[in-house]
Amino acid sequence: MGTKSKKASIIVIVLLVMFVAIPALAFTIVDYNSIEFLSGQEYIVTVNGNQVEFNEHIGKPVLLKTGRIFVPVRVISENMSYNVDWSRDTWGEGIRKVWVKDNEKEVELTIGSDKAIIDGQERYLDYDADGKPVTGARVFVHKDRIYVPLRFIAEVFEAKLEYEKCDDVHYISINTEESTGEKEVNKAIESLLKMGQAKKVPVLLYHHILTEEEIKNYDWENNSSVISLENFREQMDYLNDNGYYTAILDELYGFLNGTKELPKRTVVITFDDGYLSNHIYAYPIMKEYGLKGTIFMIGEASINPQIPFNPKYLQFISNSEIKNYEDVFKYGCHTYSLHKANENGRPLLMSAEKDEILSDLKKNKELWETSYIAYPHGKYNKDIIACIKELGYTMAFTIKPGYISKDSDRLQLPRFIVYPSTDLNEFAKIVKGDF
């Protein structure tokens, strides 16, 4: 979901109400220390293709506070056809509460509060990777404008955000209008939900894919990470024939947070390492069936194109080509250069110093514009977990077998490895939840 240097894009679910601007009125000012203006960087925001014009009085419309992005909103909510209302405090000294609403939903915000009331239900504005409330994320006022966390907006109103970066210009495109394809997908989900909601979700893990002939001819038969194209096709046939929905990681994150309902027959497909065979062999089959997946990429392996495809060697996807495959695949972090083992056979991620780990994971996070990571070889410890939390990763995947439920640890999520020996009966048990 990103390119190496000048362009990175990520699709996330974003809200509609971001900044409530109420000019020419006195606000009750709340402390907003630690605001950082993202100097040297320009932000351009569009709603349904139309650029939002911000009042020059605002200055930079996007602010960073306590490590979180806050955005301004009356202008944005009105661009999205939302109504904004407010009330003053008891003494009439300033505005205390703001409501953003349409015919279906009402969000009540209080200046200085870390909570909101959504259709009568109270919730925190933000949660950390463990699902615990972040009490430092509060509604605040700056230059007579009200700011709230962008992430909160994303989760409440379920608009789509496309984020792109080119040099020092950041483009935030908010889309509240479903495309034809999205309408079809949502209609399919609604139909599947009638058959029941998921209580637990299996995440499948693949690595390398070759044809049976290639596996035999190039001595891959003893490699447990290489499955045959024929077996992969059979497994994808099974998912398609039995009505399984393949959720992307944003949807899985919403499922964990209780903001997204998934059909009972839901599965998540992931690939580790970023082998070129994922594009050559997995992509056409998944595209044919409308299936989605995520590839966890090794940053340094993706720098240079490694084509043409040669089944004799391990070749990696380059980030210059991924834009051609984003209709099926999203891309996540598998470290930048800490995937290999040291001279003692210990994964570099496990043996590196904290500063090196932070630098490596930050580099890959920025490269792919992702908040999701898979631990190399499934190895990690409490220090590594602390590092990924510090960097803002919100989900991390292991290779421990098991199902994901709403009480799963978001930074120790299980996956089922699909081995060459995994036959269709075993595969069916895994996706049915019977393994």
Question: Encoding tokens for residue 222?
Answer: 């003893």
Helices (H) and strands (E) in the chain, counts: 12, 26
What percentage of the chain reaches a pLDDT higher than 70?
81
Q: What is the DSSP string of 393-405?
A: --EEE-S----B-
Report which residue type is found at 65.
Answer: K
Report the alpha-carbon distance of residue 371 to residue 253 in Å, rounded: 10
Higher pLDDT, 358 or 23: 358
Phi, psi of 82, deg, nearest 5: -105, 150
Burial of 25 from C-beta contacts in 10 A (0-12 / 13-18 / 19+):
exposed
- 254 pLDDT more than 70: yes
User: Has residue 200 got a pLDDT over 50?
Assistant: yes
252 or 76: whose pLDDT is higher? 252
pLDDT at 398 over 60: yes
Three-state secondary-structure class, residue 102? coil
pLDDT in tens, 171-193: 777 777 665 555 566 666 666 67
Q: How many residues does the chain have?
A: 435
Tell me what pLDDT residue 16 has.
Answer: 34
pLDDT of residue 171: 77
Q: What are the angstrom distances between the C-alpha of 185 and each of 192, 229, 245, 292?
A: 10, 27, 10, 12
Q: How far apart are CA 26 and CA 325, in angstroms?
A: 50
Residue 23's φ and ψ, nearest 5 degrees, are -70, 160
Partners of 159 in the β-ladder: 14
Q: Which residues lie across from 295 on neighbouring strands?
A: 271, 331
244 burial level (CB within 10 Å; 0-12, 13-18, 19+): buried
- Written as six digits, the tokens of 93 are 């000294």
Worst-scoring range by mean pLDDT, 1-5, 137-141, 160-164, 233-237?
A: 1-5
pLDDT of residue 86: 79
- What pLDDT, in 10s, does the model give residues 144-155? 788 888 778 777
Structure tokens at 64: 């960073």
pLDDT of residue 27: 38
The confidence score (pLDDT) of residue 307 equals 87
Predicted confidence at residue 57, as pLDDT, reads 63
Per-residue model confidence (pLDDT) at position 310:
97
- What confidence category does residue 159 fall into, taking pLDDT thresholds of 50, 70 and 90? confident
Averaged over 386-414, what is the pLDDT? 96
CA torsion, points 331, 336, 337, 338, in degrees to nearest 10? Answer: -80
Residues 371, 388: Cα–Cα separation, whole Å: 9
- Report residue 353 as tokens: 């110093």
**Cα–Cα distance measured from residue 39 to residue 56, given in angstroms and rounded to the nearest whole number:** 16
The band of 1, judged by pLDDT with boundaries at 50, 70 and 90, is very low
The answer to whether residue 80 scores a pLDDT higher than 80 is no
* Backbone conformation region of residue 320, classed left if phi is above 0, alpha if psi is from -120 to 50, else beta: alpha
State the DSSP code for 179. Answer: P
Q: Half-sphere exposure (CA, 13 Å, Cβ side) for 303?
A: 5
How would residue 8 be classed by pLDDT, with cut points 50, 70 and 90?
Answer: very low
Of 112-116, 126-130, 295-299, which one has max mean pLDDT? 295-299
- Radius of gyration over every alpha carbon of the chain, rounded to an integer in angstroms: 23
Q: What is the mean pLDDT of the chain?
A: 83
Report residue 270 as tokens.
Answer: 């992931």
Distance CA(317)–CA(309), nearest Å, equals: 10
Q: What is the largest CA-CA distance in the chain?
A: 82
Can you tell me the distance from the alpha carbon of 306 to that of 303, in angstroms, rounded to the nearest whole number? 9
Three-state DSSP class for 321?
A: coil
275-303 pLDDT, tens digit each: 999 999 999 999 999 999 999 999 999 99
Q: Could you give all domains of the chain from N- to C-terminal order, each with its CATH number?
A: 8-175 (3.30.457.10), 180-432 (3.20.20.370)
Question: Is 211's pLDDT higher than 60?
Answer: yes
